[in-house]
C-alpha cells in the first residue's frame, strides 16, 4: 500500500461515520487530516468538500474520504475541483474498481444509505487498492 495521507470530512449527515472511519485510520496508523465538521450541527457540505479537495490538489494529502447523508452532494461538490476524481461507492466492488480503473482520489459515502460495517469495509478496500495504470491510465488522462 502506498504511503497514505488521507483528508477526511463530513457534513452533519455523515458525522457519525466520519468519527468511525477516523478510529479505523488511527487503528491502522494511517496519517489523516480532519477538515470537519466537528459537531452534528447543520453545516454546508460544499465547503467541506472544497477544503478536502484542496488538500489533495495541493499535495498535502493523496486520498480523501467525504461523507454526507447520501454521498451525492459531496461527490458533486468535490468533482467541481480540477484534478479530483471523487467516486460515490455503496459496495465493495465499486470501491475496488474506482481505485484500480479510475484512480479515484476521493471516496464518497452516504451515511443514510449504507450500513456502518459496509462503510468501513468499503473504506478498507478503497484504501488498500492501487491504480492498475495501463489502458486505464489513458482513460483517466482523457478525463483530465
Residues of the chain where predicted confidence (pLDDT) is lower than 50: none
Is 16 tagged catalytic? Answer: no
Q: What pLDDT score does 14 carry?
A: 98
The CA-based dihedral angle spanning residues 134, 71, 35, 52, taken in that order and rounded to the nearest 10 degrees: 30
- pTM of the entire structure? 0.96
Active-site choice (61, 89, 101, 108): 101
Give the C-alpha distances (Å, rounded to integers) separating 100 from 17, 32, 60: 24, 22, 22
The CATH code of the domain that includes 54 is: 3.40.1400.10
Q: How many domains does the chain have?
A: 1
Active-site choice (61, 68, 89, 108): 68
- Which cell numbers in the block locate residue 64? 480523501
Q: What pLDDT score does 133 carry?
A: 86
Q: For residue 87, what are the domain limits?
A: 5-143
The string of pLDDT tens digits covering residues 85-109 is 999 999 999 999 999 999 999 999 9
Q: What pLDDT score does 1 carry?
A: 55
> Greatest CA span in the chain, whole angstroms?
44
Is 89 tagged catalytic? Answer: no
Report how far residue 84's alpha carbon sits from residue 101's, in angstroms, rounded to the nearest whole number: 15
Amino acid at each position: 500500500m502506498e504511503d497514505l495521507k488521507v483528508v477526511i470530512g463530513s457534513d452533519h449527515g455523515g458525522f457519525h461515520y466520519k468519527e468511525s472511519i477516523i478510529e479505523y485510520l488511527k487503528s491502522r496508523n494511517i496519517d489523516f487530516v480532519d477538515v470537519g465538521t466537528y459537531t452534528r450541527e447543520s453545516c454546508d457540505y460544499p465547503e467541506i468538500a472544497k477544503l478536502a479537495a484542496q488538500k489533495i490538489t495541493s499535495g498535502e494529502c493523496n486520498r480523501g474520504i467525504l461523507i454526507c447523508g447520501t454521498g451525492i452532494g459531496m461527490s458533486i461538490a468535490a468533482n467541481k475541483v480540477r484534478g479530483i476524481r471523487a467516486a460515490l461507492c455503496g459496495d465493495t466492488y465499486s470501491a475496488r474498481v474506482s481505485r484500480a480503473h479510475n484512480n479515484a482520489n476521493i471516496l464518497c459515502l452516504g451515511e443514510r444509505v449504507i450500513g456502518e460495517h459496509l462503510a468501513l469495509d468499503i473504506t478498507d478496500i478503497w484504501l488498500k487498492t492501487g491504480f492498475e495504470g495501463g489502458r486505464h491510465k489513458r482513460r483517466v488522462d482523457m478525463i483530465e
